[in-house]
Amino acid sequence: MYQAFLIKYAEIGLKGNNRSYFEDCLVKQIRYGLKSAGDGYQVRKEPGRIFVECPEGYDYDDTVEAISRVFGVAEYCPVDICKSTEWDDILEACRSYVERNIKDKNVTFKVFCKRGDKNYPKESPEICAAVGEHLLRCFPEMKVDVHDPQIKFNVEVRGRLYIYTDSYAGPGGMPVGCNGKAMLLLSGGIDSPVAGYMIAKRGVYIDATYFHAPPYTSERALQKVIDLARIISRYTGPIHLNVVNFTEIQMAIYDRCPHDELTILMRRYMMRIAEKIGLQYDCLALVTGESIGQVASQTMHSLNATNNVCTLPVYRPLIAFDKEDIVQISKKIGTYETSIQPYEDCCTIYVAKHPVTKPLVKAMEKSERILADDIDEMIERAITTRQVIRIMPE
């Protein structure tokens, strides 16, 4: 059983003077993520590295699962720790590591050494050579290959001794929280949860808004969105899910405006409302799951018409993705099975047979003038009567 994990990061290492800020964000997110695996973990920052020390009897799989969901983790390595850096203890710790962890000793290896402790009486090349010799003596089947070793035997001396040979890929990206907050328009479909995941991967906190239209959309459709929010919160951290009752606005559009414009008009009001709610949470952008050409409401003209009502930037991380690529990501992050449950969302109820595919902003504005008398009140009502559900990762 390994006592700790060494966490390696990639982009954060390029941050110059701000590096410490990003490292602290990452440490915070790792601590937070590990809550799902239990208590007693210690997360420590050392120059260029982060160590997670595990409590007695910790669950290896749960720990790995938690770490591998933290954005900003480029690689993680299970490590052995030896408290003593007495030379004989180091040699014995290396031998014991190989004996316990390398089942087939018929392998090639190379020793790598880092000295965090520059006062240590031996220098790195000397440590590498001596550890290599010792391992060859203890395990005659092992062979050294300095060019292409099967096993990279890493030894780090930093007040204590750390030994590791295996390295696994983390999710990459930047730690959530290092990069402001955005409001995700979260529906029950495949795309928007993936879009939220991708933006959070760049270090952005996510809150979400869902528009439902009871009684035309069911409680189960809402529950599906709550479930999706909970799944992505494993990566993004807690989410305020704002559930907005859109029925009144949707009915008004349906009763008074041209039916082929319904979807675009609805989208424009969704964007306006999401922006107003987002500003209450200090969000710096909106996020949607749109992708060029996927449906009539996502042609270049349609996107232009919906975009036109917002002042906040609208980020669409899936804009150039094919559906199949989006499906792949949704399967990887675990939202796919929930997304394909067949509960209608509010757009599917009123879809026109022949929706406009080239809506012009001027035409949309004209149609919206029909609603001018009372739309502001309806928007206000939708915002003030919304329900806010605090979504916590399980």
> Could you tell me if 363 and 219 are in contact, meaning their C-beta atoms sit under 8 angstroms apart?
no
Asked if residue 185 binds ligand ATP (CB under 6 A), the reply is: yes
81: β partners: 162
Asked if residue 295 binds ligand ATP (CB under 6 A), the reply is: yes
Asked if residue 328 binds ligand ATP (CB under 6 A), the reply is: no
Length of the chain: 394
Partner from Mg ion, ligand ATP, none contacting 275, C-beta within 5 to 8 A by type: none
> How near is the Cβ of 168 to Mg ion at its closest, in Å?
35
Q: How far apart are CA 380 and CA 378, in angstroms?
A: 5
How is residue 223 written in tokens?
Answer: 């529950």
Asked if residue 228 binds ligand ATP (CB under 6 A), the reply is: no
Angle at 117 (CA atoms; ends 116, 120), nearest 5 degrees: 135
Q: Which residue lies nearest Mg ion, judged by its C-beta?
A: 189
> How near is the Cβ of 93 to ligand ATP at its closest, in Å?
52
Q: How far apart are CA 223 and CA 188, in angstroms?
A: 9
- Which range binds ligand ATP by CB under 6 A, 92-100, 156-164, 174-182, 284-292? 284-292
Asked if residue 297 binds Mg ion (CB under 5 A), the reply is: no
> Could you tell me if 327 and 319 are in contact, meaning their C-beta atoms sit under 8 angstroms apart?
no
Asked if residue 288 binds ligand ATP (CB under 6 A), the reply is: yes
Asked if residue 393 binds ligand ATP (CB under 6 A), the reply is: no
Q: How far apart are CA 181 and CA 270, in angstroms?
A: 19
Asked if residue 189 binds Mg ion (CB under 5 A), the reply is: yes
Q: How far apart are CA 80 and CA 162, in angstroms?
A: 6
Residue 385 neighbours by CB distance under 10 Å? 11
Asked if residue 211 binds ligand ATP (CB under 6 A), the reply is: yes
Asked if residue 127 binds ligand ATP (CB under 6 A), the reply is: no
Report the interface residues with ligand ATP, using CB under 6 A: 185-187, 189-192, 209-211, 270, 288-290, 294-295, 297-298, 345-347
Report the interface residues with Mg ion, using CB under 5 A: 187, 189
